[in-house]
Structure 1
Amino acid sequence: MTFMALADTEKHDLRVIVEGFWGKHETASWEMNEELVAVLPKMISEVKSCSQAMDFVPRPGVYLNPKDVQRELRKMARRVKEKGTSYWVCMLMGATNWKTEAARVAQGL
């Protein structure tokens, strides 16, 4: 795959994004390059898939009767319909799963 060099503004934007996922302390020595850009859509896709699955997970509660279950099912359906933002746990999982690959490409390896 052939990549074009990133402009300085693109490098700055990429640095802001990777610092948001992995922190400034982790990414300070990373080179902002095209290969790192290519990792982000893969990670974001994983985060989105996780978040979509989380919409179907019942929330902690007490389910004493069928009405409680019906209410929880209604809440699940609302979450699926609204397609909200990514869940924190999914963002954390995505960042953890992709950190090694991101660091590797950012160091030119």
Structure 2
Amino acid sequence: MGSASNAKSAAPSTTTATKASDAAPDWRATAANLMESFIQSGYVIGINKPGIANLEKKIMGEMEAFIRDNPKQSAEELDKAAKRVTMRHLSMARTDGQREAKIKARLQELQQDRWG
């Protein structure tokens, strides 16, 4: 009878663990939603479809490496890491876009000076 009560007590803990993992945020969805919202808001300037795909590939690759290096991280920790990695890559993409815009503006300025 003692083993039956142990089995009954073990069953609710697995269902609560399943419910907790279902409620835990998915890092892929977090990264995708964060990236989409920042791109839609205009945070990243001058990024096109191939650039977005490249950015997603970099983020997913870095997160997969993070998960391989830290396999026992909780879903919340993975979510925090996804936000951190996504924001870092978005910031780099924004800086690259600003740099390219300044280079293009300077090139136009030089062409006007040279050709009138």
TM-score between the two structures when normalised by the length of structure 1: 0.33
Greater per-residue helix proportion = 2
TM-score between the two structures when normalised by the length of structure 2: 0.31
Larger-gyration structure (1/2): 2
